[in-house]
């Protein structure tokens, strides 16, 4: 098609009055495609099924007005490649029509990336909203008086309802100093200066409010929206024990929240009551209130199987150690995890605490491979003495026996639980145990707890 030239056209077609392709040319980007093989074929035969009506309209518009509107088609090339092409048709004096197309693949990729970026921004936005909602709830519901102080101007940014009720602080936006005793201004300045330099400082007693009542003040530094603030936590002197053991529950809760392994508390049915940040990261959920009230089994292994076995083991032994299973997050990511659990016996309510460790990146120990190697290593000696089909069947039997025995060990001989763990019916498991002549009680005296 040397007599046809259009700037920046990725594909050019010469169409006769009947819609038959007479000639075709493509840009260097599509130069490997044998588009000349389209000669003699109707144009709508070279596009997807939904493109026929668009082609008909373009050809009619070109014949009526000389130029058609732009329409997008999915062009099917001889190699099987399907590319979105934006075409326009131009009528020529000799009755033929020239269709000029532009490759939209790059634009489609950019649109896909844009949509993905918008979805990611929307997810981040809602995560931030959840964090903000949780912060606001905790700030307002706290029984402890809390003040937020601007680190530069030392003005009160916010006071929670407990601070307003206890100390009568109502004016947000003015300095903190009028709220305390006059001779303690320098003491507060020095306290805040040490917090700015060291991040923390020992608790001090300051007199706040209209009645200048004594309060134990703990100050810390926090950053938000590109500025720094002081967080003041105040407790009445009479209600704050001086002994350090009173801080132990708070410290433990803080350590659990910052732990690198997931920690979750569930009731006897598996309903989540509390979870730390590491567990939220594992299940790919941004806020704790989104998992509280949900059943833990929806993320652990196969629904209803692995988790029911784990709960049964905890109820039977008051604890479980190194239970291996998979955890599936809300976004579809699957991780191999190791679970240890214990039952809380300090109250009448049944509560289980579970530690969940991601072992996906751990270099697995070779013991299991060595055990299997020892089990079917002797089969190597049978090469040449039996057929390949026989060797494969014997190897499969050895592996099947090994994992049935391991499942029975894991469930302490409970065949129903072992069948669930292996994805078998109980009858199928019984049949395989009989066929492999597996001892139903084992050397540790396991029982059939069906």
The whole-angstrom separation of Cα 150 and Cα 137 is: 21
Q: How would residue 6 be classed by pLDDT, with cut points 50, 70 and 90?
A: very low
Residue 176 CA, chain-centre distance (Å), reads 43
Average pLDDT of span 329-347: 84
Q: How would residue 197 be classed by pLDDT, with cut points 50, 70 and 90?
A: confident
Q: How confident is the model at residue 144, as a pLDDT? A: 78
The whole-angstrom separation of Cα 415 and Cα 194 is: 64
Q: Per-residue pLDDT for 240 more than 60? A: no
Average pLDDT of span 210-234: 79
Q: Per-residue pLDDT for 305 more than 70? A: no
Q: How confident is the model at residue 397, as a pLDDT? A: 81
Average pLDDT, the chain: 79
What are the angstrom distances between the C-alpha of 118 and each of 146, 301, 329, 333? 37, 32, 21, 21
SS3 320: strand
Q: Per-residue pLDDT for 98 more than 50? A: yes
Q: Per-residue pLDDT for 135 more than 80? A: no
> What percent of the chain lies above the pLDDT cut of 90?
7
Q: How confident is the model at residue 381, as a pLDDT? A: 61
Q: Looking at per-residue confidence, does 240 or 199 come out higher?
A: 199
Q: Looking at per-residue confidence, does 412 or 65 come out higher?
A: 65
Average pLDDT of span 370-391: 64
Interval 158-176: pLDDT, tens: 888 877 776 666 656 677 8
Beta-bridged to residue 222, according to DSSP, are 229
Average pLDDT of span 348-370: 71
Instruction: Give me the sheet containing 156-159, strands edge to edge.
Output: 156-159, 145-150, 227-236, 213-224, 204-208
Q: How confident is the model at residue 203, as a pLDDT? A: 80
Say if residues 419 and 431 touch (Cβ distance below 8 Å). no
Q: How confident is the model at residue 63, as a pLDDT? A: 87
Q: How confident is the model at residue 99, as a pLDDT? A: 92
Nearest to 318 by CA among 348, 352, 285: 352
Q: Per-residue pLDDT for 43 more than 80? A: yes
């Amino acid at each position: 098609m040397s007599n046809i030239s259009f700037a920046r056209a990725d594909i050019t077609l010469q169409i006769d009055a009947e819609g038959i392709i007479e000639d075709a040319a493509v840009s260097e980007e599509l130069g490997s495609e044998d588009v000349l093989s389209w000669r003699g074929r109707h144009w709508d035969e070279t596009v997807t099924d939904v493109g026929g009506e668009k082609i008909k309209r373009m050809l009619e518009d070109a014949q009526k007005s000389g130029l058609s509107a732009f329409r997008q088609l999915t062009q099917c090339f001889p190699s099987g490649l399907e590319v979105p092409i934006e075409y326009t048709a131009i009528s020529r004096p000799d009755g033929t029509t020239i269709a000029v197309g532009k490759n939209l693949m790059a634009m489609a990729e950019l649109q896909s990336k844009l949509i993905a970026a918008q979805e990611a921004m929307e997810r981040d936005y809602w995560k931030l909203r959840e964090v903000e909602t949780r912060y606001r709830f905790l700030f307002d519901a706290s029984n402890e008086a809390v003040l937020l102080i601007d680190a530069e101007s030392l003005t009160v940014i916010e006071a929670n309802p407990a601070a307003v009720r206890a100390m009568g602080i109502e004016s947000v936006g003015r300095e903190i100093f009028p709220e305390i005793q006059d001779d303690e201004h320098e003491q507060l300045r020095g306290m805040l200066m040490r917090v700015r330099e060291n991040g923390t400082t020992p608790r001090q007693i300051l007199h706040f409010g209209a009645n200048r009542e004594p309060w134990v003040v703990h100050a810390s530094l926090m950053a938000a929206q590109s500025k720094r603030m002081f967080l003041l936590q105040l407790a009445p002197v009479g209600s704050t024990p001086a002994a350090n053991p009173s801080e132990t529950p708070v410290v433990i809760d803080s350590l659990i929240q910052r732990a690198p392994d997931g920690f979750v508390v569930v009731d006897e049915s598996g309903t989540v009551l509390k979870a730390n940040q590491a567990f939220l990261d594992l299940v790919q959920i941004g806020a704790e209130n989104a998992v509280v009230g949900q059943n833990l089994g929806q993320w652990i292994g196969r629904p209803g199987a692995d988790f029911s076995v784990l709960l049964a083991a905890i109820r039977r032994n008051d604890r479980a150690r190194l239970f291996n299973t998979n955890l599936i997050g809300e976004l579809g990511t699957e991780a191999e995890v190791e679970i240890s659990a214990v039952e809380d016996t300090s109250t009448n309510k049944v509560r289980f605490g579970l530690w969940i460790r991601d072992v996906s990146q751990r270099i697995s120990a070779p013991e299991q491979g060595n055990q299997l190697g020892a089990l079917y290593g002797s089969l190597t000696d049978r090469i040449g003495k039996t057929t390949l089909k026989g060797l494969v069947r014997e190897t499969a039997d050895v592996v099947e026996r090994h994992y049935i025995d391991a499942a029975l060990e894991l469930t302490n001989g409970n065949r129903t639980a072992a069948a669930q763990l292996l994805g078998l019916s109980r009858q199928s498991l019984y049949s395989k145990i009989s066929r492999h002549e597996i001892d139903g009680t084992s050397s540790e005296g396991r029982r059939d707890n069906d």
